[in-house]
Amino acid sequence: QVQDIEFTQIEMKVIEGLKIGNECLNKMHQVMSIEEVERIIGETQDAVEYQRQIDELLAGSLTEEDEDAILEELNAITQEQIELPEVPSEPLPEEVPAASPVKNRPRPELVAAS
């Protein structure tokens, strides 16, 4: 009989857990619609694709067309005439002001987190 009572108590706890889980699922269904979930999945897929493109660029897997476009853009940039400011004609001062000495502060001791 003790085993039957213990088993019945466990069954009651399981049923109570299922009720709570069902309530949570119902609340989640109220908060999130299928359209919203599909939108989130779409945004995630777009972000994954964008990250994949960045990874390919960083890994150096450029196509020949990409390299040609980059070189063409570089040539266009380097061919531009850039106006630089005029160089001052007056001489530099003879005395250089003394820099303030850097104070040696004791470094904080690193302690392992526990």
What's the pLDDT tens digit per position in 26-52? 988 888 888 888 899 999 999 999 999
Give the domain range for residue 71.
1-78
Count up the domains in the chain and report the number: 1
Question: Is residue 108 situated within a structural domain?
Answer: no
Question: Is residue 44 situated within a structural domain?
Answer: yes
Question: Is residue 10 situated within a structural domain?
Answer: yes
Question: Is residue 39 situated within a structural domain?
Answer: yes
pLDDT at 92 exceeding the cut of 90: no
* pTM, rounded to two decimals: 0.33
pLDDT digits (tens, 9 = 90+) for 49-68: 999 988 877 777 667 888 88
Question: Is residue 91 situated within a structural domain?
Answer: no
Question: Is residue 97 situated within a structural domain?
Answer: no
Question: Is residue 70 situated within a structural domain?
Answer: yes
Contact between 70 and 62 under an 8 Å Cβ cutoff? The reply is: yes
Question: Is residue 24 situated within a structural domain?
Answer: yes
Higher local confidence (pLDDT), 104 or 35: 35
